[in-house]
Copies of this chain bind each other. A is one copy, B any other.
């Protein structure tokens, strides 16, 4: 879905998201967070694309909006991905609709870092089946390789994206590699559980239900280990949505 926004809309940094609401309606009541998939601007305004999967009432209503419909958009919100100034290996691990933020991240690495001649960017992307292969064209422009896996084996590697990545992980050098991960919670948990991953810098984009999106309601808490290794709650909307994958507590 492509959104036209006023020129005053700040350029989002990869990992940031928008809160989207259908204007004037009390149902769905709360805004829904969506990652930025692409950004462009011209003299008349700003154009942001989001990519979404219909999973419930909010996304269903969004899909029912006609072209030209008015939406209420707030943002960009959230603490973005840490981007290396002189990146060498960038590994994107994405599942399903997680492709949206990693694509925007990849585009920004490409556009803003032409000064990084050694940049090698690859993506491991998992889907449930071949019919779910969406939005990959752009990613392919930006990455030297896009490896696909599918749960049902209808396309690419038969199995989970984490299993596919696990077979390659030893070929990367933790010193100069950054891993960015985005996808369903079970996928991220599995990734965090790989024996090799703690040796890498690895950032994961998490999802949680949100109300305000800007840090005020404390509704979007997830549990992490704080500086002293104790359990604490953090807000996905402002402390995240990007977290160091090592800090996340997966079960509570």
Query: Quick one: CB contact mask for A45-69 with B, threshold 8 Å, 1 for yes?
Result: 0000000000000000000001000
Q: Which residues of B contact A25 (CB under 8 A)?
A: 25, 27
Total A residues in contact with B, Cβ cutoff 8 Å: 4
Chain B, Cβ-Cβ closest to A64: B24
Question: Main SS of the interface on chain A?
Answer: loop
> What is the CB-to-nearest-CB distance from A235 to chain B, in angstroms, rounded to a whole number?
29
Q: Mark A14-38, 1 if CB is under 8 A from B, else 0.
A: 0000000000011100000000000
CA distance A170 to B68 in the complex (A): 58
Number of copies: 2
**How far apart are the CA atoms of A25 and B60 in the complex, in Å?**
13
Which residues on B sit within 8 Å (CB–CB) of A26? 26-27
- Closest B residue to A27 using CB positions: B26
Residue of B nearest to A69 (CB): B66
- Cα–Cα distance between A27 and B66 once the two chains are bound (Å): 19
**What is the bound-complex CA distance between A26 and B27, given in angstroms?**
7
A27 to B27, CA, bound (A): 8
> A86 to chain B: closest CB distance in Å?
52
Q: Hey, which chain B residues are within 8 Å of A27, CB to CB?
A: 25-27
Give chain B residues whose Cβ lies under 8 Å from the Cβ of A66: 66
Determine how close the nearest CB of chain B comes to the CB of A18; give it in whole angstroms: 24
Give CA–CA (A66, B27) in the complex, Å: 19
A66 to B70, CA, bound (A): 13
Report the separation of the CA atoms of residues A120 and B66 in the bound assembly, to the nearest whole angstrom: 49
Cβ distance A70 to chain B, nearest Cβ, rounded Å: 10
Q: Closest B-chain residue to A66, C-beta based?
A: B66
A-B contact pairs, 6 of them (CB 8 A): A25-B25, A25-B27, A26-B26, A26-B27, A27-B27, A66-B66
Interface residues of A (CB under 8 A from B): 25-27, 66
